[in-house]
């Protein structure tokens, strides 16, 4: 191979390398709109109507921080598991009592129903504080259903506590058991809506 042939080979090799896609080209093919993750970050000064954002769906809402919070930590989600656990426990105790007729389980269900009412009222106050204090929370119908459903569950819980003052077996089963079942069903629905508010609509979240 003479010098001419060697130069021609080097030229062809360089042209082939130039024809191969670079890392930037491959990245642009994978992310034609650039760093799409940044499009989901709050950027109030950015014009989202430009053609470079066509076809993208940024988050519909910025996070809505809780009013009732400590150092950015919302209090309502911290307290909500307490009444849920108490009312579910009361239902379990009622079911065990219905099978065994052991008075221990009747007393346990009574105590847990009372604890569910107390902690439910606390969670309700914290949730109502967020509802009243944030326009964007009040604007969501699911937030109202969530709150009113929980209020109904606490009201039924209070009725269950009063019902159980009469320790007759016929009062606890079936009426006490029916009330406990209704409370748990309501809490299942309101708990689902609460999760939607937090994880879908970013209620109670903060930027930090």
The pLDDT score that the predictor gives to residue 72 is: 79
Cβ-in-10-Å burial (0-12, 13-18, 19+) of 53 comes to middle
The pLDDT score that the predictor gives to residue 69 is: 87
| pLDDT < 50 stretches in the chain | 8, 12, 32-40, 53-58
For the entire predicted model, the pTM comes to 0.68
Cis bond leading into 174, ω under 30°?
Answer: yes
The pLDDT score that the predictor gives to residue 39 is: 43
- Dihedral, CA atoms, 90, 149, 168, 111, nearest 10 degrees? 40
Rg value, the chain, Cα: 30
The pLDDT score that the predictor gives to residue 33 is: 47
168: number of Cβ within 10 Å = 9
Cross-strand bridge partners of residue 73? 70
Only one residue has tokens 């079936």, namely: 174
b or e along 171-190 (b: 16 or more beta carbons within 10 Å of the residue's beta carbon)?
A: ebbeebbebbeebbebbeeb
The pLDDT score that the predictor gives to residue 55 is: 47
The pLDDT score that the predictor gives to residue 190 is: 96
């Amino acid at each position: 191979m003479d010098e001419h042939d060697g130069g021609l080979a080097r030229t062809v090799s360089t042209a082939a390398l130039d024809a191969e896609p670079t890392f930037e080209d491959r990245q642009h093919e994978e992310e034609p709109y650039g760093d799409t993750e940044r499009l989901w970050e709050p950027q109030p000064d950015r014009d989202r109507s430009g053609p470079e954002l066509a076809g993208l769906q940024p988050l519909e809402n910025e996070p809505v921080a809780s009013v009732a919070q400590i150092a950015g930590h919302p209090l309502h989600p911290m307290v909500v598991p307490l009444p849920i656990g108490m009312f579910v426990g009361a239902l379990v105790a009622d079911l065990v009592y219905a099978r065994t007729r052991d008075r221990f389980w009747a007393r346990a269900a009574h105590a847990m129903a009372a604890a569910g009412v107390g902690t439910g009222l606390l969670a309700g106050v914290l949730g109502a504080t967020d509802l009243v204090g944030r326009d964007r929370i009040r604007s969501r119908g699911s937030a109202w259903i969530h709150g009113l459903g929980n209020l109904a569950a606490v009201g039924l819980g209070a009725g269950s506590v009063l019902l159980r003052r009469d320790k007759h077996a016929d009062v606890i089963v079936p009426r006490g058991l029916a009330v406990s079942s209704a409370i748990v069903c309501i809490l299942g629905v309101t708990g689902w809506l609460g999760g939607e508010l937090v994880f879908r609509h970013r209620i109670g979240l903060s930027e930090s």
